[in-house]
């Protein structure tokens, strides 16, 4: 598909392959469509029209600080969905992309969604007196976003190893770090602050489409209580845990991940 002009004029990179029911992949903070290369194999593209975009400021999309907030990211998702040209799409969202989908549901509802798959996601990512499943407190979050803005390379070099169970190998790790380091630093800082402060617990009951919640059994990036909470509070949702995977089961254990997703999508079709 190439570049798509979002409704505020920012250029978003979109790629697609395959045919069948459309599946829109929503990457998380800091990463590009390349993290989902295992979902662009025949296993998926022979059955689905797989579409993935780089969020603003990331990957091949326009490097900008503009619109780096959850509401605008949800609007970007709406723009991508509209460009597909179908009345409904399946969405598969990872990490901060899950926050984007929750924000999308709050703003736009579920009319354009056939199903949702939420991977390594949570409804609130910062700790609070009534929320024990956050991974950062306020001061740590402030320090984190300041580091992103001032020294993105150091920030992502410290973060990337946490995404994998065990040692992914030097080549994979250096590739992951390099991909994340391409982000717009100020934009990535603003985006991180916004989604860390978001709270979508009151939105979960509105996710009324078939929903699959996926978590790696060794995920330390999003605390373990998040996936069960999503499963408990999204009506009729299903929970799948991928063994021997951390925050990136789609990349670490692609065969098990793709099998879980395609099985779910077949039932949701």
Q: By the 8 A CB rule, do 51 and 93 touch?
A: no
CA 220 to chain centre: 16
Q: Are strands 11-17 and 2-5 parallel, antiparallel or unpaired?
A: antiparallel
Averaged confidence pLDDT in the chain:
96
Segment (H or E) for 23:
strand 22-26
Evaluate if residue 213 carries a pLDDT over 80.
yes
Mean pLDDT of 180-205: 96
What are the structure tokens assigned to 211, written together? 């929903």
pLDDT tens sequence across 118-174? 999 999 998 889 998 987 777 888 999 999 999 999 999 999 999 999 888 999 999
Beta strand residue intervals within 31-77, DSSP E: 49-53
The CATH number, out of the four listed (3.90.79.10, 1.20.1440.230, 3.30.365.10, 3.40.50.1820), of the domain defined by the range 2-268: 3.40.50.1820
Looking at residue 221, its pLDDT comes to 92
Label residue 198 left, alpha or beta by phi (over 0 means left) and psi (-120 to 50 means alpha).
beta
Asked if 39 contacts 16 with a C-beta cutoff of 8 angstroms, the reply is no
pTM of the model: 0.97
The beta strands (E) that lie in 47-204 are given as 49-53, 89-94, 113-119
What are the boundaries of each domain within the chain?
Answer: 2-268
Two structure tokens written together for 10: 């920012």
Asked if residue 3 has pLDDT above 90, the reply is yes
Q: In this predicted model, what pLDDT tens digit does every residue of 34-87 receive, in sequence order?
A: 999 999 999 999 999 999 999 999 999 999 999 999 999 999 999 999 999 999
Whole-angstrom Cα Rg for the chain: 17
Nearest Cα to Cα of residue 56 among 38, 77, 25? 77
Distance (Å, whole) CA 69 – CA 148:
16
């Amino acid at each position: 598909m190439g570049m798509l002009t979002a409704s505020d004029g920012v250029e978003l990179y979109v790629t697609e392959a395959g045919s069948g029911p459309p599946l829109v992949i929503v990457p998380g903070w800091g990463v590009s469509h390349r993290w989902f290369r295992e979902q662009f194999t025949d296993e998926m593209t022979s059955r689905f029209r797989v579409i993935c975009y780089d969020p603003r400021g990331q990957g091949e999309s326009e490097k900008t600080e503009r619109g780096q907030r959850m509401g605008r990211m949800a609007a970007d998702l709406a723009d991508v969905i509209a460009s597909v040209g179908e009345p409904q799409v399946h969405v598969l969202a990872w990490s901060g992309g899950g926050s984007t989908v929750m924000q999308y549901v709050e703003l736009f509802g579920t009319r354009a969604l056939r199903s949702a798959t939420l991977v390594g996601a949570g409804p609130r990512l910062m700790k609070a007196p009534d929320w024990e499943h956050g991974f950062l407190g306020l001061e740590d979050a402030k320090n984190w976003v300041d580091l992103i803005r001032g020294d993105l390379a150091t920030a992502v070099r410290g973060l990337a190893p946490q995404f994998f169970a065990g040692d992914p190998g030097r080549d994979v790790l250096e590739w992951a770090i390099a991909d994340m380091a391409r982000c717009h630093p100020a934009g990535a800082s603003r985006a991180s602050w916004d989604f860390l402060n978001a709270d979508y617990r009151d939105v979960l009951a509105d996710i009324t489409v078939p929903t699959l919640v996926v978590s790696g059994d060794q995920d330390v990036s999003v605390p373990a209580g998040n996936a069960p909470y999503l499963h408990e509070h999204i009506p009729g949702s299903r929970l799948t845990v991928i063994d021997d995977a951390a925050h990136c089961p789609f990349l670490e254990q692609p065969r098990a991940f793709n099998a879980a997703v395609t099985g779910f999508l077949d039932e949701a079709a």
